[in-house]
Chains A and B, each alone.
Chain A
Amino acid sequence: MKRYARVMEVVGLAMVASLVVVAIFARQLAPHDPTRAVAQTFGDPAPPSWEFPMGTDALGRDVLSRVIYGAQISLTVGVAAMLVTMTIGVLFGLASGFFGGKVDFILMRITDVMLTLPGLLLAMAFVSVLGPSLVVLLFVIGLVSWTGIARVVRAEALSVSQRDFVTAARALGAPSHRLIARHVLPNVMPLIIVMAALGTSGTLLLDASLSFLGLGVPPPTPSWGRMIEEATIYFRVAPWLATFPGLAIFYAVMGFNLLGYGAIARRRQT
């Protein structure tokens, strides 16, 4: 089982690394301009061919190039939103687990409230009210995704705070902020890194869902979610339009999930 967990982690890491490479070198890798009509079939989506391996869309744009460029915005939003998520979740979890008592009670009730609200619905409401832009997306996704991380970090911080070395440092007169920064946080860090991988799979999915609903980063930036939304009216005549961007989302989410769950499975064994 331990070896299998290791395999999951390595495969996940390779998948994520390949995505990062594609996003960074999109300009070199994409055979065509993702925002311009390059096929001679204007108005009619063309099926995959040697020239266009993933076909072309209704505007004559190359689907492969759009999928490659889509990695840029997906990874940017996914990772940045994950950082917002982690910041809120880790702050809540550390404070709750370390201070306990009233602080813990109030912070955890706020967490319960957020857990009760369907994340996507709340995100849709906030994005539509505030208007879709990169900054709004990052903060809204962060705002609705932090609860799971807060709970996990709280449990870990709680157990670390009761260990002897923390008690010893406290007895020596170390102030709370120093105890958290020097003793609790470094011990919770490995878990935070694992949660970051899982968090990114969540933020990626949420971003893709919002894009699909027309609430993602506005055009002409190619985004996987919106490509599928645009493809839905062609699902009878041009199924390749929805298939390839969806595979890309699936690949990205699966990569981060393998990385995160592999690491958790390995932690459980040791």
Chain B
Amino acid sequence: MLTYLVRRIVFGIVVLIGTSLITFAIAFLIPADPAVAMAGAKADPQTLATIRHELGLDRPVYIQYARYAFRAAHGDLGRSYIRRENVMHLIASRFPATAILAAAAMVASLILGILMGVAAAAWHGRAPDHLLLALSLAMVSIPVFWLGTLLLMGAAAITRTFPLGGFDGWESLILPTITLALGSAGYYSRILHTNLSDAMRQDYIRTARGKGLSQREVMTRHAMANALLPLITLAGLDLAGMLSGVVLTETVFNWPGIGRLAFEAIFNLDIPLIMGTVLFAAFLVVIANLIVDILYAWLDPRIRLEEIG
């Protein structure tokens, strides 16, 4: 168990180093000069040279990367060009709104996805199963930003008092959560359905039936335990996809989270803020996967008992 966890942590660090290289490449591809972006187009060469020196832009690439990686590892993501604020503080101030939205959507999508997947497996091969399959495909095919816009339009048509955007009390969380959760729920229900149908064909299911358990007991006590476990891993991996959806959802609903922050940074070509938000998103996904790995090890006796057995 311990070696397993150490291996997962090392793996997470390797992935983070890789993502830092890619975010660093973003700054390198930009045709515009960051010094000009900071000082303005009319700045004299002396000022530009000073800024370049301050930013370390006159040093070789690998030194620049090493400085960037060292600072990022210490939680220093630089200062925003446009807002002139510490990137880490900006992200920290926007993080709670995104965390609430993502957590609500994750819980909602898992509940809906599991219900749909179990219902489809229970009616395996019959009309409700086919209907649920078509429904789950429709759910993954709906563009997030269109769904959000439709929900806003519907809410506006029904009532004028409904909060239309912004984070303003718990009822303002409802529409963004539905928007963000629907696609993932469709995806989970499909995977769970496949896992359940596979599990139902296993030997231990035949054994359970053979000892006289009812269909319901076989399903809940044996098949579900094995079909749900992979779903946990999937939900961890899906967080990266969900964070993409967060950008769109937060844009549609004017939600004061990291997605909107990234969107604004990209439009202002605010390089440190762009790099910071992308790197922070990757960091969240790595942490989520680590938590999933720990959870998985704890739930799955084949891993938990690795060293004892």
Contacts and interface: CB of A to CB of B under 8 A. Distances in A.
A208 interface: yes
B243 interface: yes
A254 B137 contact: yes
Interface string B133-168: 110011011111110011011001100000000000
A121 B247 contact: yes
Nearest to A128: B266
Given A117-B240, A121-B278, A242-B146, A110 B18 contact: yes
Interface string B1-35: 00000000001001100110011001001110000
Contact of B14 (A109, A228, A236, A243): A109
Interface residues of B, number: 54
Interface residues of A, number: 46
Interface string B239-258: 01101110110011000000
B149 A228 contact: yes
B240 A116 contact: yes
B109 interface: no
Contact of B29 (A8, A118, A129, A213): A129
Interface string B246-284: 011001100000000011001101000010011001100
B53 interface: no
A116 B285 contact: yes
Interface string A112-128: 11011111111011101
Contact of B244 (A112, A121, A126, A239): A121
A109 B16 CA distance: 11
B156 A4 contact: no
A209 B145 contact: yes
Contact of A117 (B138, B252, B274, B282): B282
A236 B156 contact: yes
Contacts of B146: 228, 242, 246, 249-250
B237 interface: yes
A125 B266 contact: yes
A74 to B, nearest CB: 11
Contacts of B241: 118-119
Contacts of A253: 141-143
B125 interface: yes
A253 B145 CA distance: 14
A232 B19 contact: no
A257 interface: yes
B209 interface: no
Nearest to A4: B130
A128 B267 contact: yes
Contacts of B267: 128, 214
Contacts of B144: 209
A116 B286 contact: yes
Q: Which of B19, B138, B143, B156 has the most CB of A within 10 A?
A: B143
A113 B22 CA distance: 9
A208 B143 contact: yes
B15 A113 contact: yes
Contacts of A42: none
B106 to A, nearest CB: 15
A8 B130 CA distance: 10
Contacts of B262: 121, 124
A165 interface: no
A118 B145 contact: no
Given A118-B281, A119-B240, A257 B150 contact: no
Given A129-B30, A129-B269, A213-B263, A121 B150 contact: no
Given A115-B240, A118-B240, A125 B26 contact: yes
A209 B190 CA distance: 23
Interface of A: 1, 4, 8, 109-110, 112-113, 115-122, 124-126, 128-130, 201, 205, 208-209, 212-215, 225, 228, 231-232, 235-236, 239, 242-243, 246, 249-250, 253-254, 257-258, 261
Given A124-B262, A236-B156, A250-B143, 14 more contacts: A112-B18, A113-B15, A116-B282, A116-B285, A117-B22, A121-B278, A125-B266, A125-B278, A128-B266, A129-B274, A209-B248, A235-B149, A242-B149, A253-B143
